[in-house]
Amino acid sequence: MVVETQTYDPSASSSFAVTVDVVVLTMSQGRLHVLLVRRGVPPFEGMWAIPGGFKRPDETLDEAAHRELLEETGVDGASLLRQFGAYGDPGRDPRMNVVTVAYLAVLRAVRSLAAGTDAAEAALVPVARALGGKVELAFDHARILRDAVAQVRVDLELTGMATAFVGPTFTLTELRAVFEEVWGVRLDPANFRRSLLAVSGWVVPTGRRAQPGASGGRPAELYRAGRRWRHGAPIAARGTRRGSG
């Protein structure tokens, strides 16, 4: 039996555009920050936004996310980008019907910011300010940022994401600050230290110490991440220590 193939008419369907938006989170001076750009063109000219832009016909979503992040901020985070959501509510973009695919990247440090293309400025902004009404974000980027932070809160407990926020070597204070900032809690330093050191494999002493602080005193010991981070984190979101499993 021969089945007749009907010719598809693209004009019969409503058209829409596809964009990518990249949420870059990092720790700076003990606080969780997000990388934002100030829009240099309409719509929402002059407002802060998550880096992103339109996907080109000849590129994949991942390629578009890499390109937009690099063009708008000067940051090359391609190897760390991963999708975490998609947003297509009608009216989210005043120009036309636009569906955006959101990406997340966690960086140990963000340096040498350089705004480009349609971004007038690029800067690290505390997440608490961006989500606390201190900074008005363009489009539905406040919602996207909230969802990104919510995803990181979950990942912090279930994966080794906490170590992505710190350098190859770190102090326990730096690592504790990651959990406190992302979860919005205060952890007892002594209990946190016991959680990390009670079971081998979470952190490995390097035999070196951090640079002395301005207040003087004995410099903190430096550690590197052990192999147990591949299977989760040493504490749960409620701040309790996990079993030795």
What are the DSSP calls for 118-186, one per residue? TEEEEEEEEHHHHHTTSSPBSTTHHHHHHHHHHHHHHHHHHSSGGGGSS-SSB-HHHHHHHHHHHHT--
Bridge partner residues of 228 (DSSP): none
Joined together, the tokens standing for residue 202 give: 């979470």
- Assess if CATH 3.40.50.10170 describes domain 159-231: no
Chain segment 173-229, per-residue pLDDT in tens: 999 999 999 999 999 999 999 999 999 999 999 999 998 876 667 889 999 999 999
Class of domain 14-157 as given by CATH: alpha beta
Instruction: Tell me the average pLDDT of the chain.
Output: 90
Mean pLDDT of 159-172: 95
Amino acid found at 93? D
Q: Which amino acid is at 121?
A: E
Nearest in space to 88 (alpha carbons), one of 100, 77, 78, 80 = 100
Burial 173-194 (b: 16+ CB within 10 A, else e): ebbbbbbbbbbeeebeeeebbe
pLDDT in tens, 17-57: 999 999 999 999 999 999 999 998 999 999 999 999 999 99
Please say if the pLDDT value at position 244 is more than 50.
no
| pLDDT > 90 in the chain, percent | 74
Q: Among all residues, which ones are annotated catalytic?
A: 121
**Residue 243: what pLDDT?**
53
Q: What local confidence, expressed as pLDDT, does residue 91 receive?
A: 92
- Specify the pTM: 0.89
* Domain range list for the chain: 14-157, 159-231
Element spanning 196, H or E:
helix 189-197
The stretch 73-99 carries a mean pLDDT of: 91
